[in-house]
Amino acid sequence: MPDAVILLSGGLDSATTLSLAQEQGYTCHALSLDYGQRHKAELTAAKRIATAAGVAGYKIIHLGLDAVGGSALTDAGIAVPNQPGEGIPVTYVPARNTVFLALALGWAEVLGAWDLFIGVNAVDYSGYPDCRPEFIASFEKLARLATKGGVEGGEFHVHAPLIQLSKAEIIREGTRLGVDYTLTVSCYCADAEGRACGLCDACRLRAAGFREAGVPDPTRYRPTLAED
């Protein structure tokens, strides 16, 4: 079975992506990035998801994006909004998916893998530029020029199987595949135990997705911020 590198954040989307890659017959190597994000619970979740999925390999790469800042996710001086806003939100991390895909590409080269999976989504994508199909296509071209494998004639493929799905469709797919969503953490400001705030963009999208999918929402919320 061909090897693939899966970017695994610990959220609902990447857990579903991993499951889809396994369904397609790939031997999956999961990669998480510890990039100074506030929501460390995401990383704990990623490790649990990787273990539950029985991946062939799992790595966490440490990356000091907090040195750069510029995002509510990496800069303690910028608050995570608890109301919907307009335009590209402050939770956008500059060039994040470019960096993450580049790191996945590096590991793929070492493994001899030609397939990368990323759980980006252009429907509920919160306005992030690096979640669009044209970005993914452009990275795929770059990967072929950037690498030893590419120079030697190999072709990297960047799979973004969720890119055209709504959150509800993603949840239905994951439910079909038996993804345990209790293991996933989506909240941008989850507490150390992975309990969600229920207010941030990520929480709102996730809760609406479960409602629309008609799937019971297994998200654990903080007791002080109970759902209405």
* Of 26, 139, 188, 210, the one binding its own copies by CB under 8 A: 139
Least spacing, CB of residue 61 vs its own copies, in Å: 5
CB of 70 or CB of 177, closer to its own copies: 70
Sheet holding 115-117, edge to edge: 27-34, 3-7, 115-117, 157-159
Size of the site for its own copies (CB under 8 A): 43
Least spacing, CB of residue 41 vs its own copies, in Å: 20
188 binds its own copies (CB under 8 A): no
118 binds its own copies (CB under 8 A): no
Cβ atoms of 206 and 186 within 8 Å: the answer is yes
Residue labelled with tokens 């970017």: 7
Q: Which among 103, 87, 95, 91 is positioned nearest to 39, based on CA atoms?
A: 91
Token pair for residue 58? 């799992």
The HSE-up count of residue 173 (CA atoms within 13 Å, CB side) is 21
What is the CA 6 to chain-centroid distance, rounded? 9
- Identity (one letter) of the amino acid at 148? K
* Of 102, 122, 208, 215, the one binding its own copies by CB under 8 A: 102
> Which window, 43-51, 132-140, 195-203, 215-223, contacts its own copies (CB under 8 A)?
132-140
Summarize as ranges the residues that interact with its own copies (CB under 8 A).
59-65, 67-70, 88, 92-99, 102-103, 105-107, 109-110, 129-130, 132, 134-135, 138-139, 141-143, 145-148, 150-151
